Amino acid sequence: MTPQRMAILQFLEGNIDHPSAEDIFNAVKKQYPMISFATVYNTIEKLKSIDGILELNIDTSRRRYDPNIKAHHHLICNSCGKIVDIQTDFKLTIPAHISRTFEIEGNQVEFYGTCHDCRKKKVIKR
């Protein structure tokens, strides 16, 4: 456990912004200006391997990370891209002919829509 790792962990702890590697890098850089991406990616890799964070599939342009490792879902705003956690547990059943051949271990749901701020602003959907 090094100071850089501590700083990364502190930034991630309780973070609900689904940060990217660059977000982590920039945040830790304030405290440790010499931090390198190698360290960030090394630490991410370590955390993933011990199930300390999840790598999210919700942004095609970059990988995002989530310290909330409990199964949960996301609301994604089509206008501003904001991503909000939703902890509801959905009991989803799939057709029997599929579950016979594909053993389901879990599910993840993304809801797409428009967040409160963007509805007020009437931002045009990109």
Q: Does 106 bind a copy of itself (CB under 8 A)?
A: yes
Q: Does 48 bind a copy of itself (CB under 8 A)?
A: no
26-to-23, 43, 90 alpha-carbon distances in Å: 5, 15, 35
The dihedral built from the CA positions of residue 62, 65, 74 and 57, taken in this order, carries a sign that is positive
Token representation of residue 30: 């304030």
Nearer to a copy of itself, 1 or 98 (CB): 98
Q: How many CB atoms lie within 10 A of CB 39?
A: 19
Q: Does 78 bind a copy of itself (CB under 8 A)?
A: yes
Residue 50 corresponds to which amino acid? I
By a kind-dependent CB cut-off of 5 to 8 A, residue 103 interacts, out of DNA, a copy of itself, none, with: a copy of itself
Binding site for a copy of itself (CB under 8 A): 55-60, 63, 75, 77-78, 84, 86, 88, 90, 92, 94-95, 98, 101-116, 119
